[in-house]
Chain A
Amino acid sequence: MNDEHDHHDSAPEPPVTPMAQEDASSQALAEALRSSFAIVKFVMVALVVIFLGSGFFQVGTQEKAIILRFGKTVGQGQAALLGPGLHWSFPYPIDEVVKIPITEIQKISSTIGWFAETPEQELSGNLPPPGPSLVPGVDGYVITADRNIIHTRATLYYQVDDPIRYVFGFTSASNTIQSALNNALLDTAARFKVDDVLYGDVAGFQEAVQQRVSDLADQEQLGITVKQCSVESIPPRQLKDVFDQVTAARQNQNKVLDDAHSYENQATNSAEAQASTIINQARSARTRYVQSLQADAKAFSALLPNYEINPGLFRQQELVQVMGQALTNVDFKTYLPTTANGKPIELRLLLNREPPGPKTGAAGP
Chain B
Amino acid sequence: MKRNLITLITGAVLIVIFVLLLFTFQVRQSEVAVVTTFGRITGPPCEPGLHLRWPWPVQQVYKFDERIQNFQEKFRETLTADQISLITSIYVGWKISDPSAFLNSFKDGSVIAAQSQLESLLASDNITVVGKHPLADFVNVDPQQLQFDQIQMEMEQMVQGELQTNNYGIQIEFLGIQQLGLPESVTQAVFDRMKSERNILISRAQNEGQAEAIKIRANADRQANETLADAQAEATRIEGEGVAEAAKTLPVFQENPELANFLLSIDAIKQALNQRSTLFFDDRIPPFDLFHGTLTNPPSH
Closest to A96 in B: B28
Judging by beta carbons under 8 Å apart, are A322 and B29 in contact? Answer: no
Most chain B Cβ neighbours within 10 Å, of A147, A193, A322, A324: A147
Residues of A within 8 A of B236 (CB): 282
Judging by beta carbons under 8 Å apart, are B178 and A289 in contact? Answer: no
Judging by beta carbons under 8 Å apart, are B242 and A323 in contact? Answer: no
Is A224 part of the binding interface, using a Cβ–Cβ cutoff of 8 Å? no
Judging by beta carbons under 8 Å apart, are B241 and A286 in contact? Answer: yes
Residues 276 to 328 of chain A near chain B (Cβ within 8 Å): 276, 278-279, 281-283, 285-287, 289-290, 293-294, 296-297, 299-301, 303-304, 307-308, 311, 315-316, 318-320, 322-327
Residues of A within 8 A of B198 (CB): 239, 242-243, 245-246
B residues adjacent to A (C-beta < 8 A): 3, 6, 10, 26-31, 47-50, 65, 67-70, 72, 75, 87, 91, 93, 135, 138-141, 143, 146, 148-149, 173-174, 176-185, 187-188, 190-191, 194-195, 197-199, 201-202, 205-206, 208-210, 212-214, 216-217, 219-221, 223-225, 227-228, 230-232, 234-236, 238-239, 241-243, 245-246, 249, 252-253, 255-256, 258-260, 262-263, 266, 269-270, 273-288, 291-292, 295, 297-299
Judging by beta carbons under 8 Å apart, are B93 and A239 in contact? Answer: no
Q: Known contacts A256-B213, A344-B282: does B187 contact A272 (CB below 8 Å)?
A: no
Is A129 part of the binding interface, using a Cβ–Cβ cutoff of 8 Å? no
Judging by beta carbons under 8 Å apart, are A308 and B256 in contact? Answer: yes
Judging by beta carbons under 8 Å apart, are B269 and A318 in contact? Answer: no
A-B contact pairs, 29 of them (CB 8 A): A37-B3, A68-B29, A70-B26, A71-B50, A112-B179, A136-B87, A143-B139, A147-B139, A149-B191, A169-B67, A171-B65, A171-B67, A253-B206, A257-B209, A260-B212, A260-B214, A260-B220, A263-B217, A271-B225, A271-B227, A286-B238, A296-B263, A300-B256, A300-B259, A335-B281, A338-B283, A340-B298, A344-B282, A362-B278
Question: How many positions in chain A have a CB within 8 Å of any CB in the partner chain?
Answer: 129
Of A171, A238, A289, the residue contacting B69 (CB under 8 A) is A171
CA distance A318 to B176 in the complex (A): 112
Mask of A162-182 contacts with B, CB within 8 angstroms, 1/0: 000001111110011001101
Residues of B within 8 A of A249 (CB): 201-202, 205-206
Judging by beta carbons under 8 Å apart, are A191 and B91 in contact? Answer: no
Is A82 part of the binding interface, using a Cβ–Cβ cutoff of 8 Å? no
Residues of A within 8 A of B31 (CB): 71
Shortest Cβ distance from residue B241 to the other chain A in the assembled complex, whole angstroms = 6
Judging by beta carbons under 8 Å apart, are A289 and B184 in contact? Answer: no
Is A108 part of the binding interface, using a Cβ–Cβ cutoff of 8 Å? no
Of B180, B197, B278, the residue contacting A332 (CB under 8 A) is B278
Is A14 part of the binding interface, using a Cβ–Cβ cutoff of 8 Å? no
CA distance A296 to B292 in the complex (A): 35
Mask of A90-113 contacts with B, CB within 8 angstroms, 1/0: 000100100000000000000010
Residues of B within 8 A of A146 (CB): 139, 141
Judging by beta carbons under 8 Å apart, are B93 and A267 in contact? Answer: no
Judging by beta carbons under 8 Å apart, are A335 and B266 in contact? Answer: no
Residues of A within 8 A of B143 (CB): 191
Q: Known contacts A171-B67, A329-B273: does B194 contact A149 (CB below 8 Å)?
A: yes
Shortest Cβ distance from residue A289 to the other chain B in the assembled complex, whole angstroms = 5
Closest to B87 in A: A136
Most chain A Cβ neighbours within 10 Å, of B146, B174, B263: B174
Is A268 part of the binding interface, using a Cβ–Cβ cutoff of 8 Å? yes
Residues of A within 8 A of B202 (CB): 242, 245-246, 249
The 5 closest A-B pairs by CB, nearest first: A253-B209, A275-B231, A286-B242, A271-B224, A282-B235
Judging by beta carbons under 8 Å apart, are B277 and A320 in contact? Answer: no
Q: Known contacts A253-B206, A329-B274: does B238 contact A282 (CB below 8 Å)?
A: yes
Shortest Cβ distance from residue B237 to the other chain A in the assembled complex, whole angstroms = 8
Of B173, B190, B228, the residue contacting A274 (CB under 8 A) is B228
Judging by beta carbons under 8 Å apart, are A279 and B238 in contact? Answer: yes
Shortest Cβ distance from residue B22 to the other chain A in the assembled complex, whole angstroms = 14
Residues of B within 8 A of A271 (CB): 223-225, 227-228
CA distance A270 to B221 in the complex (A): 11
Judging by beta carbons under 8 Å apart, are A179 and B48 in contact? Answer: no
Q: Known contacts A193-B141, A325-B270: does B190 contact A290 (CB below 8 Å)?
A: no
**Further contacts, 7 of them, CB under 8 A, given A179-B91, A220-B93, A332-B278:** A112-B178, A145-B140, A239-B194, A245-B198, A304-B256, A329-B274, A338-B282
Judging by beta carbons under 8 Å apart, are B205 and A171 in contact? Answer: no
Judging by beta carbons under 8 Å apart, are B279 and A332 in contact? Answer: yes
